Structures are given as structure tokens and as C-alpha cells.
Structure 1
Amino acid sequence: MKIDQDRLRQWVNFLAILSAFGINIWANIAPWKGLTIGEISTTFFPNVLIIPANYAFAIWGLIYLGLISLAIYQVLSTQSNNPRFRQMGYYLAISSLSQIIWVLLFQSQLFTLSVMAMVGILIPLILLYLRLGINLTKLPFLQKWLINFPISIYFAWISVATVINIASALDRANWGGWGISSQVWTAIMMVVSATIAVTVIWQRRDNVYGGVFVWALVAIALRQIEENLTLAVIAGVLAGLLVLIIIGRKAKARRKRI
């Protein structure tokens, strides 16, 4: 019997996204090692200064709202021949499966290996973002909100999470930082992250991607405001600059339409 490749792709993506969602729920409600992901971060990495305040991780609710909406939309029979979903291929499925592996590794406290799984989430998202040309062309309302938005917010948060994951793994491995203080390294990582966000905002007019970085930087500032005022100020200034760039980019786009 000939397999319908479009339907296969739809269901693989659908099931992979729902499976990743289920694993994340399980990991935070009934963690098999007794500690949730947030509790592991608090217990094992109190000295990793780039970890944002706990409330920042609530963004996963929005991420999965978007991803599940995308999963449902793309699995509809009317969308089986949608060329945009054909372009999407199995990238989201690969990212979702890598995320399941990441959860299992992180909860097993295999932090170095968890970085490899995080990269396994990030790379397919980069390729997907580029392949779909997110924000480069005008799209119908549904495709904008059910494809572009979920991918942008997921990609942005995984970009942030990759930096945090690497910093955490290095801390656990007792990396000396080549003699550079953790405060300086944190400032460098925040500046590099903000630079990446600026690049995407400017080249892609992707305010959603930039907004996620603002969210993360504000959460870092709030976490550090009592312990390390300098880092809190740097994070706050970078967040403010990103907001100004987003506003400026939107104003520039509006002037072009007039």
C-alpha cells in the first residue's frame, strides 16, 4: 500500500508536538527523580547568574499554546497539500523529540549531555526558520498566527535556553572561565544574546522573537536586582534598547507603507 507522505508528515509532527508537551507536563507534575526542572535549576545552579527569575519559564504555556494550535492546524485534511507545511517537513518533529530527550537527560542530572540535546532542538528550529522565510513575505492571517508566531516564540526561547543550558553545564563542570569572573561572563552572554535579537529584529522584522529576549532580560534583571545591581542594570538597559529597536523598526515599516 502506498503511503501518503503528506498525511504521514502531518501526523508525525502532530504526535511529536503532543508527546513533547506531555513529557513537559509530567516532568513538572510528577518528576521521576523527585525534582522538577525549575527545582533542579534552583538546587544545582544558584551561581549561574544568567538564569532568569522563575516566572520567566511560564512562557512555556504560551509556547505550547502556539505549538499545539500549529499541530492541530497542520494536521487538518484541508492542509495536507499546503506547500508551506511541505516546506516545514519534519523539523518540528525533530525538535520535539530532542526536547523529550533533553527533559530526560536534565532530570537525570546529565547536564553536559543535555546541552547536546538542546542543540538538537535549536538546529532544526534554525533551519525551519530559514526555510520558511519567517516574516519575509506577507501571509494570510491564519498562517501568520498559527505558523509564524509559534515558530518565532519557540525558536527565540530555545535560543535563550541554549545559552542558559551551556552556562549551567559549564558551572557544573567547575569551568574556571579562563580567569574571567562569572559577572563579566554573564554580561558578555547578555550582550551577545541581545545582539542576536537585534539582528533578527532588523533583518526579519520579527518583533515576537525580539520580545522573548526582552522577557528574558527583564527576568534576569529582576532576579539580580538585590544580589548584583550591576548585572541587573545591564540586563535592564539591554531590554530597554531592544524595546526601542522594536518600536523604531515598526515605525520605519509604517512609514514605508504610507
Structure 2
Amino acid sequence: MKAKTISIKVFVLITFIVMVAMNALANIIPINGITTGEVSDSYPNLFAPTGLTFAIWGVIYILLAVYTIYQLIAFKPTGYSEKAHIFKSVGIAFSISSVANTIWILAWHYGNIPLSLVLMLVILVCLAVINLILKNNRFTLAEKLLIKLPFSVYFGWITVATIANVTTLLVDLQWGRFGLSEVLLTIIILFVGVLISVATIMLNRDVAYGLVIIWAYVGILIKHISESGFNWGYFSVVVTVVICLALLIATEVYLIFFKKSRTIY
């Protein structure tokens, strides 16, 4: 049992380091002669946020690094511990997501968009499982910050990234959109995304998750109203994003100030 626990902790560390290294090299080298952002730009759509929005990856990596270090030193493998068992379950799911994230970079950079979506869904499912595990257990404030917060933020961003990946696949396949205009399809995607997010926020009582979704939608709004973006070229999309942001902010306010027995993370 002790050896197994240690091996899981080490595997979490190794897979995390490889994931971060791969994401860094993807833009430093860059892989296949193109950066991650340039791949995204090569599939133009109305859902993609402005480039600044992706700075959240820095926050995500820092939070995940803190968790990775913490899980190495916390919960010594001496006999059975409920929280040690939680760490094992979370560690396995996180490691799988890290491996999927690493392979996703290769699929994305080499233009295999269908495979990239499959891998993104693997990451999303892993994070959903992790957040479900953490939701059903009690933690101290310190543990919430060191364990729950990193995965709330990561889960929030991957939720948006999955929707973006689906949109990219539709562009890649040159899908006819059932005769719908690109604007109308984007409006539908925006509303579906916010409904999924609001449901997740309320189900998990997770303010941090909601803040990430708000950040992403603000990025989409900036892209649509800035001169370097669409410069108000799609007014109906702008209105939709504003409505979605209002719904998200209202949900956050309700959860923080009115929901009984609430939890922030």
C-alpha cells in the first residue's frame, strides 16, 4: 500500500512536468512550425476569445504546481486514511488528464482536430470526476485552497476549451450548420455553454469555477468589440455575450450572498 501510494504521487509529478514542458515547447520550438494560438487562428470562428484570455493558463499551471507539490508531502502513507484515499483517486484522474493534455498538444499542432476533441473530452471527464470526488468530502480552508481551487479553475477553463474545440472541429469539417448562419450557431453555442456552466456552478457550489467562465466570456466580448478583433461586426453576438455574462454574474452573486450552506470552492 505504501509503495503504491508513493508511486501514484510520483506519477502525478512526472505527468504534470511532462504536460507543462510539452505546452511550453509547443510555443518555444514551435511544434510543427506553428504555435498553439496560431493553430487556433487558422480555424476562424466567432466563439474564440481574445488572445489575452489565454493568460489564465499561467494561473492554472501555478495552482496545479502547488497541488502537485502539496500532494507529495501531505497524507503520509501509514495505514488507511480517508483523505489519503481521496488523494489517490484524484491523483490517478489528474495523471490521466495530464497525459491526455500532452497528447492533445501533438494532435492539435499536427492538425488532427477530431483526435484533439477526443483527448479534450478525456481531460474534461477526468476533471469532472475529480471535482465530484472533492465536492463530496469536507476539507479545511487550507485544503480547499491547495486541493479544490486548482481543479475548480482548471475545470472551468477546460469546460470553455471543450466548447471551443467542438467549434474548431465544425470549422475543420466545413459543416453546413443545418443551414444556420454562423452568427446564429454561435449564439446557440454561447447559450448552451452558459447553461451548462450555471448548472455546474450551482451543482458544485463553486464560485471559482464560475469566475473562470466569466473570464472566458469577457475574452469573447473583448474580441468582438475591439478594433483588433471583430470591431462590433456581429452586434447580436455581442448582445448574447452580455446576456450570458449577466446570467453568470447573477449566479455567482446568488451563490455567494443568498445560497444557504454555500461553499466558495
Q: Report the TM-score when normalising by structure 2.
A: 0.89
- Matched residue of 2:31: which SS? coil
Give the Å deviation of 1:252.
1.2
Count of residue pairs the alignment pairs up: 252
Aligned match of 2:114: 112
Q: Deviations over 1:184-209 (max 9, x none)?
A: 11111111111111112222220111
Q: Deviations over 1:137-194 (max 9, x none)?
A: 5421221011101111111111110110111011011100111111111111111111
Aligned match of 2:228: none
- Matched residue of 2:47: which SS? coil
Unaligned runs of 5+ in 1: none
Aligned match of 1:166: 166
Q: Distance in 1 between matches of 2:179 and 2:88?
A: 49
Q: Deviations over 1:197-226 (max 9, x none)?
A: 111222222011111111111111111121
Residue 249 (str. 1) matches residue 246 (str. 2): no
Give the Å deviation of 1:89.
4.0
Aligned match of 1:13: 12
Residue 122 (str. 1) matches residue 124 (str. 2): yes
Matched-pair contact (CA < 8 Å) for 1:73–1:79: no
Q: Report the TM-score when normalising by structure 1.
A: 0.92
Compared with structure 1, are the counterparts of its residues 256 and 39 closer, same or farther at alpha carbon in structure 2 (3 Å cutoff)?
A: closer
- Matched residue of 1:109: which SS? coil
Compared with structure 1, are the counterparts of its residues 14 and 183 closer, same or farther at alpha carbon in structure 2 (3 Å cutoff)?
A: same
Q: How does 1:228-243 map to 2 (within 5 A)?
A: 228-243=234-249
Aligned match of 1:101: 103
Residue 67 (str. 1) matches residue 69 (str. 2): no
Q: Distance in 1 between matches of 2:24 and 2:134?
A: 29
Q: Deviations over 1:107-135 (max 9, x none)?
A: 111112111111121111112221222xx
Counterpart residue identity of residue 52, structure 2: Y
Residue 143 (str. 1) matches residue 143 (str. 2): yes
Compared with structure 1, are the counterparts of its residues 176 and 83 closer, same or farther at alpha carbon in structure 2 (3 Å cutoff)?
A: same
RMSD: 1.9
- Matched residue of 2:13: which SS? helix
Q: Deviations over 1:47-88 (max 9, x none)?
A: x11011111111100110111111000011644452331331
Q: Distance in 1 between matches of 2:197 and 2:76?
A: 32
Give the Å deviation of 1:256.
8.1
Identity of aligned residues (%): 31
Counterpart residue identity of residue 250, structure 1: I
Aligned match of 1:35: 34
Counterpart residue identity of residue 175, structure 1: W
Compared with structure 1, are the counterparts of its residues 146 and 77 closer, same or farther at alpha carbon in structure 2 (3 Å cutoff)?
A: closer
